[in-house]
Amino acid sequence: MKVVKFGGSSLANGTQFKKVANIVLADKQRKVVVVSAPGKRNTDDIKTTDLLITLANEVIQGNNKENALSQVVERFADIVEELNLDRGLLSEIEGHLKDLIASYKDDPDRLLDALKASGENQNAKLMAAFFNQLGEEAHYVSPDEAGIIVTDEPGNARILPEAYEELSKLRDRSGILVIPGFFGYSKMGHIVTFPRGGSDITGSIVAAGTEAEVYENFTDVDSIYSVNPNLVEYPKEMKEITYREMRELAYSGFSVFHDEALQPVVKKKIPVCVKNTNHPEAEGTRIVSDRSHEGLPVVGIASDKGFLSINLTKYLMNREVGFGRHLLEILEGEGVSFEHTPSGIDNMSVILRDHQLKNGKEERILHRIRTELSVEDVQVERDLAMVMVVGEGMYQTVGVASMATAALSEAGVNIKMINQGSSEVSMMFGVDADKADLAVHSLYHAYFTPVKQ
């Protein structure tokens, strides 16, 4: 049995719905279908979810909502008309949206969550209806009915452990089951959405709960590439990578598969296959628990911007038991999480995502560092990027670091920080943000361009 998830661009219009139906029906094992809201039909289009957020904001701000509401309904109308589905579905959608607005109009967080989720929810109903129209047994299954019970944090739902047992019962149901992605229900009965990557999370949870043989994730690329295709022409396709490799890449800017979405399948060791709805014959990329480590140990290069470093200096710092703990406590006190803490003998740095230091947090943290830690010097270094070279097996390979540093040196990129050794999967370089693309480019060519080998 397979769980198949389709992203927004795979369900953007009727033509895409037909491709999805063909893919699902081509393999009897594809029993559970998780769907996103309709995505962009072309580059200038607006995603349904964004239309729904606009609608929510109009309601919250007390503006006239009719225009925003009709834009949402029109997106679904476009699909209903192209597929010649029952027009009654549209009035149901409109009625449903109005009900949500009426229920939650005094609770902006819940209104936003409920409206955001309705893009997936309505699309799942249309998809089930389309299967029925094709003469297939198919059922819309709401997350509630499926057993997707989550924590009650609007916009940041986490699955509750007891959900998995309920989900396992889906295996016994007949027909194709179409489940909307992106949200679950709290125990109180509220709609609560998952964080970024939400529909991928639903698919992963359902695959884990039903112990699927594979979790197929259909998107609009043939494969996950070894590097951002916007930076390198014709980048190498990845055939197979491990969960850990994917996690490191996803963390640092690979937007194909959100890292949190992997967690449920990792535990059950269910392979994930990323495939292209528009080109289903392509092999795709398999994300697995273990792979063979033949050839070059590097699988991908990624980068992420928006970091800063707080650099501390204090003579004989390393003699002070408790210094590092105290520093981390100061950050924790402001709810700030850190990425790395490289330390020398009399120096320690904390690297963190810079958006965290707003609203006076930076000043308060620096003040506490100066007064409580009696440092000689504390400096904030901004506009840093982290560039990551990822691949299992690197750890035991002589010369991997050398190739990277040589490539960066040749490209004239000054390495501000190197982090290697904590992870057996990756090696990380801190560089100035304006050199990040150049760094990625040079590293990609060092590891993947055949002449260099």
Contacts with a copy of itself by CB under 8 A lie at 244, 247-248, 251, 259-260, 263, 266, 309, 311, 315-316, 318-322, 324-325, 328-329, 332, 335-349, 395-399, 401-402, 404-406, 408-409, 412-428, 430
**Maximum alpha-carbon separation in the chain:** 77
Indicate the residue among 89 and 438 with the shorter CB distance to a copy of itself: 438
Helices (H), 223-322: 243-251, 259-268
Nearest-approach distance from CB 260 to a copy of itself, in angstroms:
7
By the 8 A CB rule, do 332 and 323 touch? no
Edge-first strand listing for the sheet containing 149-150? 149-150, 183-186, 191-193
CB neighbour class for 5 (10 Å; exposed up to 12, middle 13-18, buried from 19): buried
| Bind-site residues | 5-8, 49, 120, 219-220, 225
Indicate the residue among 173 and 291 with the shorter CB distance to a copy of itself: 291
- Could you give the CA distance from residue 351 to residue 387 in angstroms, rounded to a whole number? 13
Q: Which contiguous run of DSSP H or E holds residue 125?
A: helix 108-133
Name the CA radius of gyration of the chain, rounded.
24
Nearest-approach distance from CB 111 to a copy of itself, in angstroms:
27
Indicate the residue among 101 and 327 with the shorter CB distance to a copy of itself: 327
Q: Which residues contact 203 (CB under 8 A, 6 or more apart)?
A: 3, 4, 5, 34, 181, 215, 217, 261
| Bind-site residues for substrate | 49, 120
Nearest-approach distance from CB 253 to a copy of itself, in angstroms:
12
Indicate the residue among 110 and 314 with the shorter CB distance to a copy of itself: 314
Nearest-approach distance from CB 305 to a copy of itself, in angstroms:
16
Indicate the residue among 160 and 415 with the shorter CB distance to a copy of itself: 415
According to DSSP, residue 226 is labeled S
| Bind-site residues for ATP | 5-8, 219-220, 225
Going by DSSP bridges, is the β-strand pair 240-242/285-288 parallel, antiparallel, or unpaired? parallel
CA 6 to chain centre: 14
Indicate the residue among 103 and 420 with the shorter CB distance to a copy of itself: 420
Q: Which residues contact 136 (CB under 8 A, 6 or more apart)?
A: 25, 175, 176
Task: Indicate the SS3 state at residue 183.
Answer: strand
- Could you give the CA distance from residue 282 to residue 120 in angstroms, rounded to a whole number? 26
Nearest-approach distance from CB 337 to a copy of itself, in angstroms:
5
Indicate the residue among 186 and 423 with the shorter CB distance to a copy of itself: 423
Nearest-approach distance from CB 147 to a copy of itself, in angstroms:
23
Nearest-approach distance from CB 38 to a copy of itself, in angstroms:
30
